């Protein structure tokens, strides 16, 4: 998880691709309120490019923090002090095989009220 965190924060495409299964898929819930992939993103190269590109759309540096999300390890994506997304990766064979991202502002507000916190 820490290797993924560092590569994602730095925008290191080659390193991200090494950590992703060749058939990795990302699903994003933007709730129609933010610019997000409306269909799943499939494949290590596309997923790595999507993650790096998405982190640059805010105009701010995105900081990732490891957190427990619904009893599983995940990441909080923060722009300054604002929670802009949560990422829940699944692994298989030591590689990330899928990532679910919640970026819907309404759902993120609900998460903050319920005491979501990172480490």
Of residues 50 and 56, the one with the higher pLDDT is: 50
pLDDT above 50 for 113 = no
Question: 3-class DSSP state for residue 5?
Answer: helix
Give the pair of three-digit tokens for residue 45.
Answer: 């190269």
**In the chain, % of residues over pLDDT 70:** 81
**Mean pLDDT over the full length of the chain:** 83
End-to-end CA distance of the chain: 13
pLDDT above 90 for 14 = yes
pTM above 0.85, yes or no: no
> Rounded CA gap, 64 and 38, in Å?
23
Residue 119 is predicted with a pLDDT of 45
Q: Give which of 48, 52, 64 is closest to 118, Cα–Cα.
A: 64
pLDDT tens, 60-80? 678 889 998 888 889 998 888
Non-local (6+) Cβ contacts of 17 within 8 A are 44, 45, 48
pLDDT above 60 for 97 = yes
Residue 81 is predicted with a pLDDT of 84
pLDDT above 60 for 116 = no
pLDDT tens, 23-39? 999 998 876 666 666 78
């Amino acid at each position: 998880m820490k290797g993924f965190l560092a590569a994602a924060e730095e925008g290191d495409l080659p390193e991200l691709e090494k950590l992703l299964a060749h058939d990795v898929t990302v699903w994003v819930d933007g709730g129609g309120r933010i610019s997000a992939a409306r269909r799943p993103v499939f494949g290590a190269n596309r997923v790595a490019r999507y993650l790096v590109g998405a982190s640059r759309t805010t105009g701010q540096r995105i900081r990732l923090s490891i957190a427990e999300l619904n009893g599983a390890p995940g990441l909080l994506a923060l722009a300054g002090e604002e929670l802009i997304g949560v990422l829940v990766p699944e692994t298989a064979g030591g590689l990330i095989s899928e990532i679910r991202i919640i970026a819907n502002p309404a759902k993120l507000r609900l998460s903050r009220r319920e005491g979501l916190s990172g480490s």
